Amino acid sequence: MNRYPPWKSLLFAGVMLLALVLALPNVFGEAPALQLSRKDGEPFTGDSAVQTFRELLAAQQLTPDAAFVQDGRVVLRFADVPGQLKARDLIDASAPGSYAIATTFASRAPAWARLIGLKPMSLGLDLRGGIYLVYEVDVEGAVKQTLQRLERDYRLALREKRIQYDSVEGGSGAVVVNLKDGARLEDARSALAAVDSNVTLEVTGGGSGPATVRATLSAVQVKQRQDFAIQQNITALSNRVNALGVSEASVQRQGANRIAVQLPGVQDASEVIRLLGKTATLEFRLVDQSGNALEALQTGHPPLGTKLYQDRRGQPVLLKREVIVTGEQLTDATSAFQQGEPAVSVRLDARGGDEMLRTTRENLGKPMAVVFIERERQLRDQGGQKVAVDVTREDVISVATIRGVFSNQFVITGLTPREGQELAKLLRAGALAAPVFIVEQRLIGPSLGQDNIDKGVRALAIGSVALFLFMAVYYSAFGLVANLVLVCNVVLLTACLSLFGAALTLPGIAGIVLTVGMAVDANILIYERIREELRNKNSPHASIKAGFEKAFSAIADANVTTLIAGVVLFLFGTGPIKGFAVVLSVGILTTLFTALMGSRTIISLIWGRRVSITRLPV
Amino acid sequence: MEFFHSVPRFRFMAQRRTCYIVSALLVVGSLGAEAFHGLNLAVDFTGGVVVEAAYSGPADLDRTREALRSAGYGDVAVQSFGSSRDVLVRLPPLGASESAGTVTQKISTALKTIDAGVQIRRTEVVGPQVGKELVVKGVTAMAVTVLLILVYIAFRFRWKFGVGAVLATLHDPFVVVGVFAITGMTFDLSVLAAVLAVIGYSINETVVVFDRVRELFPIMRKSAPIEVFDRAINETLSRTVITKLATLIVVVALYGFGGEALKGFGLALIVGILAVTYSSMYVASGVALDLGSSHRDLMPAERRAPVDDLP
């Protein structure tokens, strides 16, 4: 008798059942779809939004196959591309400019699968087509900007204190101040230190002759400036990518100074690059309290000296025409807690600080607003032709009351923690932008993507069928068991990848094929052992038991070493290589599980209960 | 069905010295091919521009070159790719004045002068610094993999086995890279991934043989180490052959049916598997044997305690 502990068999059956359910959505494939998000960033909620679009389309005899809200976006799935495109034009015409409409693909999986959170593997760029961009942030340029700003501020500070200088020069990592009169060296030093106390100041000369102060940024400051530059660009890029409304788009930091942007399904590279390349800025302005914003909105004529804006909720706000400070003068903005309350702490350069000091002194207790200005390109319908138009979006992102006199450092309070983080992000995005340039650009056309899928799947199918035949011929009935275990392995692997939300890439498919090829090794190790045991005249049951036990250490050691290679690949790889590494590593784990537990369960189920077997079909 | 009805008795280890020479020649040959023939590195590593385009009819490579030259790209490689309609255009890294967007735009405009229905299937623009970093990363990844595996094997077996395994493992990627140098096939990111997979696979193979050696040493206490190694290889031979066939089946499918994008990946694995089979049998075991692996290295610790001292 050869009984496998029932709990192990049950565990295997349970895992496989779960895996089947998880892997199921991958079977249904995808259909053309539209993904709608609101341009003001507010999420869609509830069925009413969906109902609105359904009715809009129904008026033109257009019925989506499915319509639902997912992650704050409305997804409308259609049977074919013409339907999808017709719906896009209809929705765009119904409310021009208020929705970001992305043409995309949605899973055909039934609604219940979606409701319990089951998702198919998403397809990587090389399979779906799309654009992959890697931006490099010029961190050295960012540091140079800081030095230039320091140079300006130093001139201002020295002039204010009436200290004469020969020159204030920035360059090669430092700002050098040459003083005419060494006697005022100490005054100069303290004036410069007041601009930014974190900067290291080195003094040479003095007395009656000329003197020099050399200002250098500390390593921490350089690092901070670089991180700021990268974060700022990530925020800016994310904002614009979100505005594109592309589904499954991603913006990720890569390495020390790079940002990778993935835009699946997007094809017009130059247009996208233009769009993403736009820079944002900020304006601090006083709120005009004398006029009536609602009235101005209705009449379309704001009072003299004011300008009408909208805040992020669409409420009208009247602001004074004079700009106090712009984004170029903002050096840092971080969200923090002050006295237990969420706050955003803002730093300006010296020039901005002076302006702010004057303004706050005169306007204590009055509200001040921050306007976020972003230029974007929109496609407008003009006489049946799509024309790109530059549109400037100006949003009031914060209105706060001036509660004290301040200059270059202040905090904005009265926010929820989320609002605080959002505001700090936007402020940083609007600060003087660090230069970026594209170091990598890949564009994969949709036909190539489909080709890659077809060929990858074909290779997988042909390879698997040939392998199945080989195993069945060589190991007869046990070979069929190995094949069944292989199928279990692929199902489990698919389930795991779907569960992790991993994107399937072409190297990923190659990884699956390789896993299939290597997974049989575990079964072969076991079967060869069983044959050996049988040759040594052991009973069939004892041979099965010994075969599994003796093969275990070889299987474990062999797979751990391959796993090491997989993990290293994951750590060092980027993009598609990472995808391959994930599949390879997860594949090894599923192989261990299915080959050891699965094979044993199935073999025990078939041959374990038979008391008198003389031969094994191995 | 069975290829080996009983355990064969090949004397593998007797030929190990010859195999060292063969391996040395393979590695030197590979290095030579890389030095003289050069490796056809993809833009992933060198930086540059690649455009894959599909014409509506058979592609005319000369006219394509001509069109690109008049567009201002003289230093350009044009080759057919996959089918007769597909061409691959490759340019060296961009100067500072040109942006990725404009180059691809200009190339596609140039190709459209030949065939208005030409379809741009893929464009890749990689900066030279990205490529350089990738090379460094790739080499580091290989070094780290090998080091970690050495540690693992040394921990699970003995250091002598670790050295044998690592030498065999280092040998395999050389062979793969050498074949790419000789054939001139493009060495791209996916081939690099395949090479790293071969490293893992190579270790996998070596471990199976070593595992058997470890098992046999206590049983064959009277035999010389060389006999133990020979028997271990012979006993695992059947499995080695079957596993290799099984893996080769799917890898050949990848090479033959996976399309242009997986061809290099498939070839690297085919060559890798053949190299692995050879090196795991001869190099790994041979080195472990020549470093003086004996019963003492693998006997369980308690058995090594001197029993004779007892009264």
> What ipTM was reported for this prediction?
0.86
CB pairs under 8 A between A and B: 241
Residue for token digits 């609007």? A430
User: Can you tell me the mean pLDDT for A206-229?
Assistant: 85
Per residue in A436-474, pLDDT (tens digit) is 888 888 888 888 888 888 998 899 899 999 999 999 999
Given a cut of 50, whether residue B310 has pLDDT beyond it is no
- Quick one: pLDDT at residue A384? 58
Q: How far is A517 from chain B (nearest CA, A)?
A: 4
**CB B2 to CB A531 under 8 A?**
yes
Q: Give the gyration radius of chain A's Cα atoms.
A: 33
Nearest to A439 among B1, B130, B190 (CB): B130
The Cα A390–Cα B7 span in angstroms is 78
> Does A139 contact chain B (CB < 8 Å)?
no
CATH 1.20.1640.10 segments of chain B? 12-41+130-299
The Cα A140–Cα A229 span in angstroms is 10
Q: What is the pTM of this model?
A: 0.79
Say what percent of chain B tops pLDDT 70: 94
Per residue in A518-545, pLDDT (tens digit) is 888 899 999 999 998 998 888 888 899 9
Helix, strand and coil in chain B, % to nearest 5: 65, 10, 25
Say what percent of chain A tops pLDDT 90: 18
- Quick one: pLDDT at residue A527? 92
Q: Report strand pairing: A122-123 vs A503-504.
A: parallel
- Quick one: pLDDT at residue B164? 87
- Quick one: pLDDT at residue A40? 64
Higher pLDDT, A400 or A256: A400
> Does A556 contact chain B (CB < 8 Å)?
no
Strands of the sheet with A99-107, listed across from one edge = A66-70, A73-77, A30-38, A99-107
Q: How far is CA A164 from CA A182, A199, A210, in A?
A: 10, 21, 11
Lowest-confidence region among A133-142, A261-270, A584-593: A261-270
- Quick one: pLDDT at residue B311? 47
Q: What type of residue is A274?
A: R
CA atoms within 13 A on the CB side of A138: 11
Given a cut of 60, whether residue A386 has pLDDT beyond it is no
User: Can you tell me the mean pLDDT for B181-197?
Assistant: 88
- Quick one: pLDDT at residue A493? 95
The Cα A38–Cα A43 span in angstroms is 7
- Retrieve residue A292's tokens: 């009536």
Other beta carbons less than 10 A from residue A383's beta carbon: 5
- Retrieve residue B125's tokens: 């623009």
Mean pLDDT of chain B: 85
Per residue in B46-60, pLDDT (tens digit) is 888 999 999 998 988
The Cα A492–Cα A343 span in angstroms is 47
Per residue in B85-109, pLDDT (tens digit) is 899 999 888 776 677 777 888 888 8
Beta strands in A487-527 (DSSP E): 503-504
CATH 3.30.70.3220 segments of chain B? 48-126
Per residue in A4-34, pLDDT (tens digit) is 788 889 999 999 999 999 998 888 888 888 8
- Quick one: pLDDT at residue B301? 45
Per residue in A167-200, pLDDT (tens digit) is 888 777 789 988 888 888 888 888 888 888 888 8
- Quick one: pLDDT at residue A357? 92
- Retrieve residue A444's tokens: 């994969």
Is the CATH code 1.20.1260.10 the one for domain B12-41+130-299? no
- Retrieve residue A401's tokens: 């009351």
Q: What type of residue is A317?
A: V
**CB A553 to CB B199 under 8 A?**
no
Q: How confident is the model at residue B248 (pLDDT cuts 50, 70, 90)?
A: very high
- Quick one: pLDDT at residue A385? 60
Q: What's the DSSP call for residue A369?
A: E
Beta strands in A406-484 (DSSP E): 409-413, 436-444
Q: How confident is the model at residue A422 (pLDDT cuts 50, 70, 90)?
A: confident
Other beta carbons less than 10 A from residue B182's beta carbon: 15
The residue among A133, A440, A585, A615 with the most chain B CBs within 10 A of its CB, best to mutate, is A440
DSSP-assigned beta bridge partners for residue A170: A175
What DSSP letter does each residue of A311-365 carry, written as one string? ETTS-EEEEEEEEEEEGGGEEEEEEEEETTEEEEEEEE-HHHHHHHHHHHHHSTT
Chain A residue with CA closest to B101: the answer is A270
Other beta carbons less than 10 A from residue A422's beta carbon: 19
> Could you tell me the domains of chain A?
6-25+445-608 (1.20.1640.10), 30-108 (3.30.70.260), 140-221 (3.30.1240), 282-414 (3.30.1360)
Mean pLDDT of chain A: 85
Given a cut of 50, whether residue A60 has pLDDT beyond it is yes
Q: How far is B160 from chain A (nearest CA, A)?
A: 17
Cβ–Cβ under 8 Å, residues A523 and A595: yes
Q: How far is CA B173 from CA A135, A561, B146, B277, in A?
A: 32, 16, 11, 13
The Cα A129–Cα A132 span in angstroms is 10
| CA dihedral (B77, B58, A510, B238) positive or negative | negative
Cβ–Cβ under 8 Å, residues A132 and A252: no
CA atoms within 13 A on the CB side of A366: 15
Query: In sequence order, which residues have a C-beta less than 8 Å from that of residue A276 and are 6 or more positions away?
Result: A133, A237, A240, A241, A261
DSSP-assigned beta bridge partners for residue A213: A177, A203
Chain A residue with CA closest to B134: the answer is A573
Q: Domain B48-126 has what CATH class?
A: alpha beta
Nearest to B254 among A269, A510, A521 (CB): A510
Given a cut of 60, whether residue A377 has pLDDT beyond it is no
- Retrieve residue B41's tokens: 């590195």
User: Can you tell me the mean pLDDT for A264-283?
Assistant: 78
- Retrieve residue A436's tokens: 């970026």
The crossing angle, in degrees rounded to 10, of helices A446-500 and B225-257 is: 130
Higher pLDDT, A613 or A166: A166
The Cα A523–Cα A597 span in angstroms is 11
Chain A residue with CA closest to B140: the answer is A572
Query: In sequence order, which residues have a C-beta less than 8 Å from that of residue B266 and are 6 or more positions away?
Result: B251, B252, B254, B255, B256, B258
Given a cut of 90, whether residue B21 has pLDDT beyond it is yes
The Cα A443–Cα A452 span in angstroms is 14
User: Can you tell me the mean pLDDT for B146-152?
Assistant: 83
Given a cut of 70, whether residue B306 has pLDDT beyond it is no
Given a cut of 90, whether residue A587 has pLDDT beyond it is yes
- Quick one: pLDDT at residue B26? 92
Cβ–Cβ under 8 Å, residues B128 and B95: no
The Cα B226–Cα B291 span in angstroms is 12
Given a cut of 50, whether residue B41 has pLDDT beyond it is yes
- A350: nearest Cα among A372, A333, A328: A328
Contacts of B245 in chain A (CB under 8 A): 470
User: Can you tell me the mean pLDDT for A283-310?
Assistant: 85
Cβ–Cβ under 8 Å, residues A230 and A137: yes
The residue among B196, B212, B263, B269 with the most chain A CBs within 10 A of its CB, best to mutate, is B196
- A72: nearest Cα among A105, A41, A106: A41
Contacts of A580 in chain B (CB under 8 A): 190, 193, 197
